[in-house]
């Protein structure tokens, strides 16, 4: 009997980080009696006097926001990383190793309007966000090896404030996930004399099976090794080391494809779709990093509907990641979604 990847359990290898994922497509036929998330289709005001991210308001730490009119960035009042941590390399003990880390954490407000998300912002306003991301990456990269731009969207992803915003954490060390990606990209480059993610992208473009949306400069796809149900990978078509290396026309095209993807996400279950997303670019170190290719990960937790999410527990925590629908099935569903937001009368 031949293996049918949309019916039979199998494992897939993640070339980018070296992990495996168990795919169990037959499990979607089982009834669900577990937790269902409560979804509130709330109508938020354009300005909330109680929001600590709205223009002119006092933040939780006591500082007052300026009356900003597009984007706004500030050092997190409760930062996870500090620039003046005493330097300490290692304890010298095999069983109890630790070292110091220095860095900073910043918050980026995408818009002064409290009632918007990136999916609902105009492309020109999304370009302003991309410009600020790029500026922050360039600035922080002068002092720190790793600059992590990310957004947690929705309460289900731990977001404590619905105002459209993201974060940037910078550190003098390479964290675990980018370390694994760097290691695997180096190994592939040495073996094949080519860039892993570019080779992968070219193969995906040939087959089109997992491509969701593309334009002249960018591609969004569901990676072959995806873990989260509707996980996506956003890639530039030419090799770029970092977001700060993009040209004006590439940023405009990026705003277009991001808006298209995020509208498809929202249209999937007619809700403001939760996710964690983040950019991975080359570290700021002394290497040329010819093996690196810029990319963004989108990790949404919802599985079957607006109220049923994927739980990373049990087997996932103790053995390896597992997913129920295949990457190909997820890509097809997202590809068939309209890229016009459902609040504007999108026709699926």
Instruction: State the catalytic residue, choosing from 114, 163, 165, 295.
Output: 165
Phi then psi for 153, rounded to 5 degrees? -115, 125
10 classed as catalytic = no
Catalytically active residues, by annotation: 165
């Amino acid at each position: 009997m031949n293996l049918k990847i949309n019916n039979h359990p199998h494992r897939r290898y993640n070339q980018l980080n070296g992990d495996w994922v168990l795919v169990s497509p037959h499990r979607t036929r089982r009834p669900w009696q577990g937790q269902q998330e409560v979804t509130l289709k709330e109508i938020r005001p354009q300005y909330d006097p109680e929001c600590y991210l709205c223009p002119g308001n006092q933040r939780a730490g006591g500082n007052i926001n300026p009356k900003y009119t597009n984007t706004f960035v500030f050092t997190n009042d409760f930062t996870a990383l500090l620039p003046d941590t005493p330097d300490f390399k290692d304890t010298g003990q095999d069983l109890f190793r630790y070292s110091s880390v220095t860095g900073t954490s910043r918050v980026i407000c995408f818009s002064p309007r409290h009632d918007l998300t990136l999916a609902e912002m105009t492309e020109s306003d999304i370009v302003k966000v991309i410009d600020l991301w790029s500026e922050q990456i360039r600035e922080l990269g002068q002092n720190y090896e790793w600059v992590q731009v990310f957004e947690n969207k929705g309460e289900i992803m731990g977001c404590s404030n619905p105002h459209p915003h993201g974060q940037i954490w910078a550190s003098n060390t390479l964290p675990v996930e980018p370390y694994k990606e760097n290691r695997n990209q180096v190994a592939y480059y040495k073996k094949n004399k080519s860039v892993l993610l570019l080779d992968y992208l070219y193969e995906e473009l040939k087959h089109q099976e997992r491509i969701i949306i593309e334009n002249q400069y960018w591609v969004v796809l569901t990676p072959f090794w995806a873990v989260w149900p509707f996980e996506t990978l956003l890639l530039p078509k030419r090799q770029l080391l970092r977001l700060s290396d993009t040209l004006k026309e590439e940023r405009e095209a990026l705003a277009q494809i991001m808006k298209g993807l995020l509208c498809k996400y929202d249209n999937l279950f007619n809700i403001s779709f939760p996710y964690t997303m983040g950019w991975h670019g080359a570290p700021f170190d002394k290497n040329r990093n010819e093996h690196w290719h810029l990319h963004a990960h989108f990790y949404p937790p919802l599985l079957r509907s607006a109220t049923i999410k994927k739980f990373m527990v049990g087997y996932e925590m103790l053995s390896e990641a597992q997913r129920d629908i295949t990457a190909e099935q997820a890509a097809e569903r997202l590809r068939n979604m309209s890229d016009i937001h459902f609040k504007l009368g999108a026709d699926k």
